[in-house]
Amino acid sequence: MDVRSGYYYTKEHEWISIEGNKAKVGITDYAQHKLGDITFVDKPQIGKILKQFDVLTGIESVKAASDVYSPVSGKIIGFNSALENSPELINKSPYDQGYIAEIEISNPSEIKNLMDANSYKEYLKGLEK
């Protein structure tokens, strides 16, 4: 499983990549493997204010429909519109072309509630037993 250093992770398998007070959010390589072929990503409401771990959007695959949660509190400022016609980008490139949304972070201290890459790798090992 691909886990990126410098990113932060949730127990629900979302990742966040932070630049200043903005962040990109997506689902991890592990999550996209478990879901199978992604068939639809619901466009989140731009401008919506979220608290940490609120539902950011919904995602559908051949296996299941799932919620995607926001790793931090903030305002949704962007959506990866490429996913509207090509939701499978999440399967092909979960950390790059397949990111889901951009958030303006309102409480940077919440990052302490997330896992770094090494902690997330250890968490995944525990799930595979």
Supply the pTM of this predicted model: 0.95
**Mean pLDDT computed over 2-24:** 96
pLDDT of residue 128: 78
Question: Over the stretch 72-88, which tens digit does the pLDDT of each residue have?
Answer: 999 999 999 999 999 99
Q: Which amino acid is at 97?
A: Q
Q: Into which CATH architecture does domain 8-110+118-124 fall?
A: Beta Barrel (2.40)
The strand ranges marked E within 1-122 are 8-9, 14-19, 22-27, 38-41, 49-50, 55-61, 65-69, 74-79, 101-105
Token pair 């919506």: residue: 48
